Amino acid sequence: MSSTDGTIGTPAGSPSGTESTALKQAAEGSWPVLQTERNWGTIGLFGVTLSAGIAAWSYAIGGSVSWYLGATMGTLAMIAGSLVGMYFVTVAAMPISVKYGIDTIAACKPQYGSYGSAFGIFAQYTSIIGWNCILIIILGRTTANVLEAANVIHGSNTKLYVSIAVTMCTLALIYWMVARGSDSVRDNSVWIAVAVSLTGLMVLVVLIWKDGWHTIASAKPSAAFSDLHLNYTLGFEILVATVLSWWPYMGGIMRMSRSAKQAIWPSMICLGMITGIIGLIGLYAGLATGESDPSVFFVKTLGIWMGIVAIVFIALANIGTAIVGVYASTIGLKQIPALQYRVSYRWATLIVIAPVVIVCAFFQNVFMAHILTFMYFLGLVFAPICAVQIVDFYVFRKHRLHLPSLFDYSKNGQYYYWGGVNPAAFIATGVGFVLYYWLLNPVTYAQHFPFKWISASVPTIIATGFVYWVLTKFWIVRVGKGGYAKA
């Protein structure tokens, strides 16, 4: 970051002690990361995104799709849904973070307002907590199920205690890794990505070899409707909605990239498409066993010894993804003025992990029983956010932001609007919430007729974007709020 005399960094050679401290504060705090300070090269960026993208939540996603679709249609729906969802996230979040070196929360201040961006913090914080709970609980449950199959432990209570113990140890390891800073996130992610890729390929090969492709391909989904088109759209929507939840992760990762060209392929392939591809393991295993819970179908499908291999794979995959999630959420929390300077990076990391500890220790069964509801709610929340951000950045601001105003909470800041809140963004987002809920109820899974033809997330993005465009063009710009005339 800038030194006290106004100069920026050292173009070549090792940075001075002052500059190293400034770089560390930027990477672990809310300040923009300058081009000279971005030390995640192409390999590091691929490593971080790949280790994040390959995670056990993909098994849960694939297992959920196995309720509605067989192997062939399920494969098509998962790949298509993952790419469509990631396209919107990449367009909305990636260019802003790369261009200005800012995290996801700072990037949503121009739309929601300097104080209204707290909505983004809440969405990021809760979604990453939810995903981390899924990741860690699946690891704990799979370990307990393998030990039970090996006659090492017996009884449901013992399984629960083992699962809790494994989750607590895993969370302690994640905290230790993230608390060491952004360089630790990058360095650990590279070797995790390699190990995870090789182990995942082996698990998929063994799965098909043991059950046979014909058995998997001919298996019937367990909860399918009579309407194949509806089933396909439900499977497609699961992937779009869940992949949209990469939005909270994007800024924390991509602000360490040197260019959009460097970042686009890791984004689309390692975060988007990989989610669908790894999810195929869950889809095929769910069809072969009739179980959608990864902690159950891994043991049923692979047996004890390969189940142990699966535990290694799940541990590597989940730790890698959780590290990135906790880091991104920690940076997001540092956008809160009260936490920016008063709470250290390590304490902010602990604040992110604490709710996961509580859920994993006391509410495992309740949380996992409502996993599909959680997935659909991700679409309900992040589809409108992406729409607002896309229209604002590309249509109105023409790819330009006023960087000082991102950190100015006074009335002088361009993104102060009214009391730090942009009502147009919240009205448009509210319209998106209502439309999504009407098309697909995340709680009851009830749908209205257009859903099977248009899904829920995609029309929500289009409708939200249109409402935001109308309100901004004919209201916000005309009253001179938001800094649009100066953008």
Tokens of 353: 């992990």
Q: What is the pLDDT of residue 436?
A: 97
The predicted model scores a pTM of: 0.84
Q: 47, 46, 61, 6: which is closest to 371 by C-alpha?
A: 61
- Give the CA diameter of the chain: 71
Q: Specify whether the CB–CB gap between 71 and 219 falls below 8 A.
A: yes
Q: What is the pLDDT of residue 196?
A: 63
Q: What is the pLDDT of residue 17?
A: 45
- The reply to whether CATH 1.10.4160.10 applies to domain 33-371 is yes
Q: What is the pLDDT of residue 8?
A: 33
Q: Which amino acid is at 149?
A: A
pLDDT tens digits, the chain, 487 residues: what are they?
Answer: 333 333 333 334 444 444 444 444 444 445 787 777 776 777 778 877 877 777 777 888 998 999 999 999 999 999 999 999 999 999 999 999 899 988 888 899 999 999 999 999 899 889 989 988 988 998 899 889 889 888 889 888 899 999 999 999 999 988 887 776 555 555 655 666 666 666 667 777 877 888 788 889 999 998 899 999 999 999 999 999 999 999 988 877 888 787 888 888 889 998 899 889 988 988 998 898 888 777 777 777 777 777 787 777 777 777 777 877 787 788 777 777 767 667 777 888 888 899 999 999 999 989 988 888 999 999 999 999 999 999 999 999 999 999 999 988 899 999 999 999 999 999 999 999 999 999 999 998 899 989 999 999 999 999 999 999 999 999 999 999 999 975 4
Q: What is the pLDDT of residue 86?
A: 95
Q: Domain limits of the chain? A: 33-371
Q: Is residue 8 classed as helix, strand or coil in its secondary structure?
A: strand
Q: What is the pLDDT of residue 259?
A: 80
Q: Is residue 426 classed exposed, middle or buried when 0-12, 13-18 and 19+ CB atoms within 10 A define those classes?
A: middle
181 φ/ψ sector (left φ>0, alpha ψ -120 to 50, else beta): left
Q: What is the pLDDT of residue 182?
A: 52
Rounded CA gap, 57 and 363, in Å? Answer: 18
